[in-house]
Structure 1
């Protein structure tokens, strides 16, 4: 299976990414729709993962003033999970951060998937907290 991950190149890809995010975060996880989209979306780099001409994964990267990149809204279509798409999205996020000259990535991981990020080398920084009604923990990754 070929996974093509790249920044959204067309309005159609961006729309597909937002549709996928709504399906995962709002429909599946019960995040209030008004919280799923926020001010960061306008300035973020939006990544899509494409398999067989379909958007099956998405993530966004926000360049922050403190020199970090915040990765968020990482999601994979339900029927495409467990096939390496999340790892491909995160590898592309790391590449994008390096291209932008950033050395550290931060994210808020849902506790149910924090093991995925630990396996990628992320470290927990701080106690668990609730965001959008879901337990999370802050994690960081040093790009070296």
Structure 2
């Protein structure tokens, strides 16, 4: 479990945690950003490591993210199974600025280290590049659209 301020993060366990993760994603990506629901949920969700951020005060869900490993990660990062794929990072509007996003990234990196991965790749919305750069990620390659939103690939080596 990773904690930051009033936020704690844990790997999702059980149906209630997964439902909370998917509810946060629906609120942020589908309702707020207009991503079609059939694009938001995919076949990778089944085998992913989902991480949930909750309020330390009342346990309310605040954010989520997922880690893909093995073949699923390799499909996202160009074929390298030693590199995990961080994705679907979402923090509820009411929880932004509390450190939930950074805590989620650290928790996902911890999960990647526990699985022996050498690095983590992600596809960042271009408006979030600075956030990930502050956490040690470096952008590479050209900008590309994902669900109609501009993105850049980023990577961080794990130590």
Please indicate, yes or no, whether the TM-score normalized by the shorter chain is above 0.5: yes
The superposition leaves residues 75-107 of structure 1 with CA deviations (integer Å, 9 ceiling, x where unpaired) of 001100011000100110111111100011000
How far the C-alpha of 1:9 sits from its partner, in A, is 1.6
Pair 1:57 & 2:59 matched: no
Higher deviation after alignment, 2-11 or 72-81: 2-11
Alignment of 1:8-27 (within 5 A): 8-27=12-31
Aligned partner of 1:124 in structure 2 is 139
Q: Do the aligned residues in 1 keep the contact of 2:6 with 2:98 (CA within 8 Å)?
A: no
Measure the CA separation in 2 of the matches of 1:3 and 1:10: 20
Pair 1:30 & 2:34 matched: yes
Pair 1:90 & 2:105 matched: yes
The superposition leaves residues 10-34 of structure 1 with CA deviations (integer Å, 9 ceiling, x where unpaired) of 2111101101101100110011111
Aligned partner of 1:106 in structure 2 is 121
Q: Which runs of 5+ in 1 are unaligned?
A: none
Query: TM-score, structure 2 length as denominator?
Result: 0.88
Aligned partner of 2:76 in structure 1 is none
| SS class of match (1:61) | strand
Query: TM-score, structure 1 length as denominator?
Result: 0.97
The superposition leaves residues 85-137 of structure 1 with CA deviations (integer Å, 9 ceiling, x where unpaired) of 00100110111111100011000000011110011110011010001100000
| SS class of match (1:128) | strand
Query: How many pairs align?
Result: 144
